[in-house]
Amino acid sequence: DAGITQSPRHKVTETGTPVTLRCHQTENHRYMYWYRQDPGHGLRLIHYSYGVKDTDKGEVSDGYSVSRSKTEDFLLTLESATSSQTSVYFCAIRERDQPQHFGDGTRLSIL
């Protein structure tokens, strides 16, 4: 299995609070991705990274920011969480022309 770890695995927080999710890899893969998954919407791309300090927006980036200061870590931040951001968040890693490998997901509930 690809070495990819998401933390935390579960989180419950209140509207308006900041939240940071972490994706850590031990594979030295260039590309890292953050998706959210909601019923009826499949996997939607939030942000992705194509190298250290190189990131780009996905389909649903509003309300989210990311940072990648080193190859192994990709952080997703909700500056002020809203109930609409309650979701399951998946991180994925890959090399060019290779498949994505997904982490186990983070279940985030915003009350």
Partner 1 sequence: QQPVQSPQAVILREGEDAVINCSSSKALYSVHWYRQKHGEAPVFLMILLKGGEQKGHEKISASFNEKKQQSSLYLTASQLSYSGTYFCGTAPQNRDDKIIFGKGTRLHILP
Query: Whose Cβ is closer to partner 1: residue 37's or residue 80's?
Result: 37
> Contact 93/27 with Cβ under 8 angstroms?
yes
Kindly state the smallest distance separating residue 14's Cβ from partner 1, in Å. Answer: 25
CB-hemisphere CA count at 13 Å for 64?
28
Query: Under the criterion CB under 8 A, does residue 8 sit at the interface with partner 1?
Result: no
- Which residue is it, tokens 């989210």? 64
One symbol per residue from 22 to 41: x for binding partner 1 (CB under 8 A), - otherwise; what is it?
---------x-x-x----xx
List the one residue out of 78, 109, 105 whose CA is nearest residue 4.
105
Residues that bind partner 1 (CB under 8 A): 31, 33, 35, 40-45, 48, 50, 56, 58-59, 90, 96-105
